Amino acid sequence: MTTVRSADFVQSLERGLAVIRAFDRSHPELTLSEVAASTGVTRAAARRFLLTLMDLGYVRTDGRFFSLSPRVLELGYAYLSSLSLPEVAEVHLEALVAEVNESSSVSVLDGPDVVYVARVPTSRIMTVTINVGTRFPAYATSMGRVLLAGLPDEDLAAYFDGVTIDRLTARTIGTVSALKTELQRVRAQGWSLVDQELEQGLRAVAAPIRDRAGRTVAAVNISTAASRTTLEAIRRDLVPPLLAAAARISADLPAATRAERRIS
């Protein structure tokens, strides 16, 4: 699907951000050629972007390999500090975790992914470490399905038009049609339960966090190991406190803030 850019679109900014995003957990260090190949720009352009980012303090080099500097964290913290959500949610997540003795997180929707903005863990039950800023495909997560189910119909239709579904485990939902059916169920019941679709052995249940206008602006979850918690136990023991925590977070959000409008 071709993206139509506005007349005011600044392509050099897009490419500069692409250079930053080229570095990730699997590629913490890259050569100039690797950055150029990853971002689709020429070596000369990649060099200019990298040197500019070095001058700004966001990138460093040992002469051959480039890597991000800790200053890049400022970009993420600028977003988080503009939101009331993580601060409001934290105390409720701590209370929820103390009550159910399972990890709990809050995320928002960013394109096709969920992005974690708050988390209170207990024991580690995933092979991937989850931190603030971690993202996963929305279709395979309980929080993602809650957030997708809360989208206006036109936004959800646009998501379906662009989504590519990869089977992350043998249990991952496999088709857009099946996902549409599941999201209808989530809308009807008001929460989502995902059984080992993101990672084998992981079960999670999520509920929406809504603003004063009733819009879904975030999601809160409880995650647990499949080996110690049955689906029946999740529905019986975890869903009620989760819904109560979601309601408390929603009630404590400031009314109609600019930050909430940006999340939604």
What is the DSSP code (8-state) at residue 51? H
Least confident of 30-34, 75-79, 190-194: 75-79
Q: Where are the domains of the chain?
A: 11-71, 83-252
Whether 94 contacts 103, CB under 8 Å: no
* Tokens linked to 142: 């309980």
Please name the helix (run of DSSP H) or strand (run of DSSP E) that holds residue 210, with its range, or none: strand 202-210
What is the DSSP code (8-state) at residue 2? P
* pLDDT of 83 higher than 60: no
- Pairing of β 113-120 and β 135-137: antiparallel
* Tokens linked to 2: 């071709």
Instruction: State the average pLDDT for the chain.
Output: 88
At residue 206, the 3 state secondary structure works out as strand
Neighbours of 247 (CB within 10 A): 15
At residue 117, the 3 state secondary structure works out as strand
| pLDDT over 90, % of the chain | 70
Whether 79 contacts 116, CB under 8 Å: no
At residue 136, the 3 state secondary structure works out as strand
pLDDT digits (tens, 9 = 90+) for 213-245: 899 999 999 999 999 899 999 999 999 999 999
Q: What is the CATH number of domain 11-71?
A: 1.10.10.10
Q: What is the CATH number of domain 83-252?
A: 3.30.450.40
* pLDDT of 128 higher than 80: no
Whether 220 contacts 195, CB under 8 Å: no
| pLDDT over 70, % of the chain | 89
* Tokens linked to 202: 């992981």
Whether 154 contacts 116, CB under 8 Å: no
pLDDT of residue 175: 94
Mean pLDDT of 44-52: 94
Whether 216 contacts 146, CB under 8 Å: yes
What CA–CA distance (Å, rounded) separates 139 from 134?
A: 15
What is the CB-side half-sphere exposure of residue 56 using CA atoms within 13 A?
15
Q: Given this chain, do its domains 11-71 and 83-252 carry the same CATH topology?
A: no
How many Å is the Cα radius of gyration of the chain? 20
SS3 letters across 216-254: EEEEEEEEEECCCCCHHHHHHHHHHHHHHHHHHHHHHCC
Using 50, 70 and 90 to split pLDDT, how confident is the model at 88?
A: confident
E strands, 80-130, are: 103-110, 113-120
Q: What is the pTM of this model?
A: 0.70
